[in-house]
Amino acid sequence: MNPTPGQIAAIRAYVAGLSGAWNNTDAQIRAAIAASSVANPVQQATVPKPYTATGLLGVLSTQSQGNLVVFPAIHDLLVDIQTQDSANVLAAVSLLAATGKITSAEATAIQSAVTATEPDPSWTSTVTWDLANLGRPIDDFDIEAARHS
């Protein structure tokens, strides 16, 4: 991918700001950029919060848990929970509530857990300079383009 003129200017400005014994080799530029952390310009996203069978079944009364033993699709429901297939879990919960296998309050509690979100735990507050400024790791072509443009 060719760097944009703005990306080339950003690389040049970054390299110009470096001090010390600098030979401007491609390897030095890549190492300096990779070692530089800056604030992540991307906002932290909100993602679905994982749920477990233990957590979802834990909101059920003993009677409701017993009702699930005879639920024909219990195996499918447990697979859907394990694979985080929220649409199928929610459909099953609606069916269970409609048929009286679980209470409406239990259904609401499970629905809340299945649709819960949280800040993305994989997001980091700092990223390398190249990710913040180029949106991707810098490569030799970027450095060469910045040198000769």
The residue among 100, 90, 101 whose CA lies nearest residue 56 is 90
Model confidence at 125, in pLDDT bands (50, 70, 90)? very high
Sign, CA dihedral 71-114-121-132, equals positive
Contact 14, 149 (CB under 8 A): no
pTM assigned to the model: 0.67
Q: What pLDDT, in 10s, does the model give residues 101-118?
A: 999 999 999 999 999 999
Q: What pLDDT, in 10s, does the model give residues 49-58?
A: 999 999 999 9
The residue among 131, 77, 129 whose CA lies nearest residue 102 is 77
Tell me the two tokens of residue 79: 């697979």
The predicted pLDDT at position 147 comes to: 75
* Choice among 21-35, 42-56, 113-127 with the minimum mean pLDDT: 21-35
Domain locations in the chain as residue ranges: 5-41+125-148, 46-119
DSSP assignment string, 79-107: HHHHTT-HHHHHHHHHHHHHTTSS-HHHH
Separation of alpha carbons 14 and 3, rounded Å:
15
Q: What is the mean pLDDT of residues 37-43?
A: 92
Question: From the CB of residue 142, how many other CB atoms can be counted at a distance below 10 Å?
Answer: 24
